[in-house]
A and B are shown apart, each in its own frame.
Chain A
Amino acid sequence: MNPISFLTQMLRIAVPYLFAAGGGVVAERAGIISLALEGFMLTGAFSATLGVHYTGSPWIGLLCGIFGGLIFGLIHAVATIRYRADHVVSGIAINLLAIGVTRFFLKLAFDSSSNSPRIEGFGGNQAWYGFDNPLLWMGILVAPVLAYFLYRTPFGLRARAVGEHPAAAASVGVKVAKVQYIAVATSGMLAALGGVFLALDQHQFTDQMTAGRGFIAVAAVIFGRWDPVRAAIACLFFAAAETLQIQLQGTQLIPSQFIVMIPYLLTIIALAGVVGRAVPPAALGKTE
């Protein structure tokens, strides 16, 4: 096993997690539970596929992906903020909706129940080990940029305040709803970028191609205790485990099913407080 190939594969696997977990951190720090990351990702993947298919340009695809994530992010935002729907239910509904909508339009646009035609992606030059893909760079930059915004800008401060004590924030003039809308819309767009990377990397859209990655991102957010950089490290860790499993495929050292379990088991353990307590933002989930 070659360390360079391990690292490059690990990064490739990590990028969707990095994007989605970043989105998760943003929304949840502002108090909105983000179980819809899976749906946002899927929407981003599909929108990007449509964009690239009809224009031939991956950059247009990227913009379309962001747009798709924005729309679904806004749906989640309106449901939870304006209509005070239960965050968990809304998240699950959006995931189901995303599956349905992408399937519906997959049939409509490409007359297929399983996948789209092949599309162009970014990069592809083996000599660059994946670094000729701008999305890879963007994925790596999500965590530090988010950390900066969250901890060093006024908007970040307001967002965090809203997630901890919305009433107190409102009393000093913070427009709680507006902050939450922006946070959730951002989470939609970020998670969608994860899907964009997936679709362009695999050069097509397949039905339910996100395959639970959005939930691994949720696990990373919790395991990283709602901090952008820690969540990113969790993403890398999970991606490393996955890469290890793929590279060890033939050797049967540890059954693949157990490697798959790792992120989920770790999250459960984190929640049980065995590795210190995982304390969410105080007002997370409460928009009633």
Chain B
Amino acid sequence: MREKLEEALFPPVVALLVALICGDLLIMSYGQSPATVYRLLLEGTWGNAYGFGQVLYKATTLTFTGLAVSIGIRAGLFNVGAESQLAAGGFLAGLLGLALSPSFPLALAIPACILAAAVGGGLVGAVPGYLKVRFGAHEVIVTIMLNFVVLALLNWIVAGHLHVPETLHTPEIRNGGIARLSSFIPAFHGSAANLTIVVALITAGLLWLHLFRSRRGYELRAVGLQPEVAEYGGVKVGSTLMRAMILSGAIAGLGGINYVLGYKGYYEEGFAGGAGFLGIAVALVGRNHPVGVVIAALFFATLSQGGLAIHALVPKQLVDVLQGVVILAVAMSVPEVRSALRKARKPVAA
């Protein structure tokens, strides 16, 4: 147990240190003091209600995409398509929200739209799943390519038929809207944070249960770790992979409701804003564990929001650099840490 914890926690800690050092260097190249800048970053994010609300909002989307990528990785699949799965999910949710009449009960409308989001993402996720199982097509390239295809398709649909003139978004939904936090907690006034956070946390919890306490989760992890052993044990590897890819896509699709149902109330071109790709970073730093993902999502959201807060002292582009540094650092330290820890422990003699 302790070994697993070590292997899990060392890389993000290392990455954090590396990022801090890089941050220090870049901040100093701007003639600023790192301490001042970091303090301003924290004040602007966790230090005030609006900033914190923004952090929560961004972390919510990242939680979904991070969970999506992490479940794929647990099954041995690399889902780089979270960006388009997110968009497809948001689109279908927005479509349903538009189609439902305002008199339809909200208590049914919201779950229906949430389901629509999951279906949207799941459909997109099914494509690489099917191609992998049936043809052995590598899901990394398929998902990357599919991103472009799906986004272009969505663009064609919205730009052609569904957009409000002079804008890049669909008309506002008539039903299915999710309340902002500011309607309960006035301090959050102005921030985009909404009750989707609850959905995100529930999803994380359910995913944890599924992965570590259910039979299908046991099989999924087995397939991800040693597919030949899973096969020997009678697990149907192909259908497990297919299920994992659909699940991954569906979770990413769910992320779409944060913007579409909770924030703006419509689907907009480009609303995903890179959250799909950042989800990969979140999954990586969160070590593919639901709890880790939530924490990592908060971290990256803080970084992102923090960039805006320190704008006066240092360009917010600093944050973009740090994001890349963190991902690279974690990617580099995972195998290093693993082999270092393995060497340090010896197998127990019979």
Check whether chain A touches chain B (CB < 8 angstroms). Answer: yes
Report which A residues bind B (CB closer than 8 A): 33, 35, 75, 79, 83-86, 88-90, 92-101, 103-104, 106-108, 113, 212, 215, 218-219, 222, 255, 257-258, 260-261, 264-265, 267-268, 271-273, 280, 288
A20–B124 Cα distance when bound, in Å, is: 28
Report which B residues bind A (CB closer than 8 A): 26, 29-30, 78, 80, 131, 134-138, 140-142, 144-146, 148-149, 152-153, 155-156, 159-160, 277, 280-281, 284, 315, 317-325, 327-328, 331-336
In the complex, 28 of the A-B residue pairs with CB atoms within 8 angstroms, ordered by the A residue number, are: A79-B328, A83-B333, A83-B335, A86-B331, A88-B78, A90-B332, A93-B324, A93-B331, A94-B328, A97-B323, A97-B327, A98-B324, A99-B320, A100-B322, A101-B324, A103-B320, A212-B148, A255-B160, A257-B153, A264-B145, A267-B145, A268-B137, A271-B131, A271-B135, A271-B137, A271-B142, A272-B131, A280-B138
Indicate if the CB atoms of A96 and B333 lie closer than 8 Å: no
A267–B152 Cα distance when bound, in Å, is: 16
- Given contacts A75-B328, A264-B145, A268-B149, could you give 6 more A-B pairs where the C-beta distance is less than 8 Å? A93-B281, A100-B317, A265-B145, A268-B137, A272-B137, A273-B135
Given A79-B331, A108-B315, are A222 and B152 neighbors across the interface (CB < 8 Å)? no
Indicate if the CB atoms of B131 and A268 lie closer than 8 Å: yes
Given A100-B323, A218-B141, A261-B149, are A92 and B131 neighbors across the interface (CB < 8 Å)? no
A106–B141 Cα distance when bound, in Å, is: 31
Residues of B within 8 A of A273 (CB): 135-137
A255–B155 Cα distance when bound, in Å, is: 11
Indicate if the CB atoms of B144 and A104 lie closer than 8 Å: no
Q: Is chain B's interface secondary structure helix, strand, loop, or mixed overall?
A: helix
Indicate if the CB atoms of A257 and B280 lie closer than 8 Å: no
Please give the distance in Å from A77's CB to the nearest CB on chain B.
12
Residues of A within 8 A of B332 (CB): 79, 83, 85, 90
Residues of A within 8 A of B134 (CB): 272
Q: Which of A94, A97, A218 contacts B144 (CB 8 A)?
A: A218
A82–B52 Cα distance when bound, in Å, is: 39
Residues of A within 8 A of B159 (CB): 257
Q: Which of A94, A107, A257 contacts B324 (CB 8 A)?
A: A94
A164–B80 Cα distance when bound, in Å, is: 25
Interface centre among A84, A96, A106 (most CB of B within 10 A): A96
Indicate if the CB atoms of B315 and A104 lie closer than 8 Å: yes
Interface centre among B152, B315, B331 (most CB of A within 10 A): B331
Please give the distance in Å from B323's CB to the nearest CB on chain A.
6
Indicate if the CB atoms of A90 and B328 lie closer than 8 Å: yes
Query: In the complex, which residue of chain A has the Cβ closest to the Cβ of B323?
Result: A96
Indicate if the CB atoms of A260 and B335 lie closer than 8 Å: no
Query: In the complex, which residue of chain B has the Cβ closest to the Cβ of A207?
Result: B317
Please give the distance in Å from A42's CB to the nearest CB on chain B.
12
Please give the distance in Å from B57's CB to the nearest CB on chain A.
21
Please give the distance in Å from B303's CB to the nearest CB on chain A.
11
Given A92-B327, A257-B152, A260-B148, are A84 and B335 neighbors across the interface (CB < 8 Å)? yes
Q: Closest 8 interchain pairs by CB?
A: A97-B324, A100-B320, A100-B321, A85-B331, A83-B332, A103-B317, A93-B327, A257-B156
Indicate if the CB atoms of A97 and B135 lie closer than 8 Å: no
Q: Which of A84, A85, A255, A268 contacts B156 (CB 8 A)?
A: A255
Residues of B within 8 A of A89 (CB): 280, 284, 327, 331
Indicate if the CB atoms of A107 and B317 lie closer than 8 Å: yes
Q: Which of A94, A255, A268 contacts B146 (CB 8 A)?
A: A268
A272–B29 Cα distance when bound, in Å, is: 49
Residues of A within 8 A of B155 (CB): 257
A267–B149 Cα distance when bound, in Å, is: 11
A257–B156 Cα distance when bound, in Å, is: 6
Indicate if the CB atoms of A261 and B153 lie closer than 8 Å: yes
A92–B26 Cα distance when bound, in Å, is: 22
Residues of A within 8 A of B136 (CB): 273
A271–B146 Cα distance when bound, in Å, is: 12
Please give the distance in Å from A255's CB to the nearest CB on chain B.
5
Given A89-B280, A100-B322, are A83 and B145 neighbors across the interface (CB < 8 Å)? no
Query: In the complex, which residue of chain A has the Cβ closest to the Cβ of B137?
Result: A271
Q: Which of A94, A98, A265 contacts B149 (CB 8 A)?
A: A265
Please give the distance in Å from A54's CB to the nearest CB on chain B.
18
Please give the distance in Å from A287's CB to the nearest CB on chain B.
9
A84–B26 Cα distance when bound, in Å, is: 27
Indicate if the CB atoms of B335 and A288 lie closer than 8 Å: yes
Q: Which of B135, B141, B327 contacts A267 (CB 8 A)?
A: B141
A30–B213 Cα distance when bound, in Å, is: 42
Residues of B within 8 A of A260 (CB): 148, 152
Residues of A within 8 A of B333 (CB): 83
Query: In the complex, which residue of chain A has the Cβ closest to the Cβ of B130?
Result: A272
Please give the distance in Å from A148's CB to the nearest CB on chain B.
27
Q: Which of B284, B317, B334 contacts A104 (CB 8 A)?
A: B317
Q: Which of B144, B327, B328 contacts A215 (CB 8 A)?
A: B144
Residues of B within 8 A of A264 (CB): 145-146, 148-149
Indicate if the CB atoms of B141 and A271 lie closer than 8 Å: yes
Indicate if the CB atoms of A219 and B145 lie closer than 8 Å: yes
Indicate if the CB atoms of B80 and A268 lie closer than 8 Å: no
Please give the distance in Å from B22's CB to the nearest CB on chain A.
10
Residues of A within 8 A of B328 (CB): 75, 79, 85, 90, 93-94, 97
Indicate if the CB atoms of A88 and B145 lie closer than 8 Å: no
Residues of A within 8 A of B142 (CB): 268, 271
Q: Which of A83, A101, A212 contacts B321 (CB 8 A)?
A: A101
Residues of B within 8 A of A265 (CB): 145, 149
Query: In the complex, which residue of chain A has the Cβ closest to the Cβ of B328?
Result: A93
Residues of A within 8 A of B78 (CB): 88
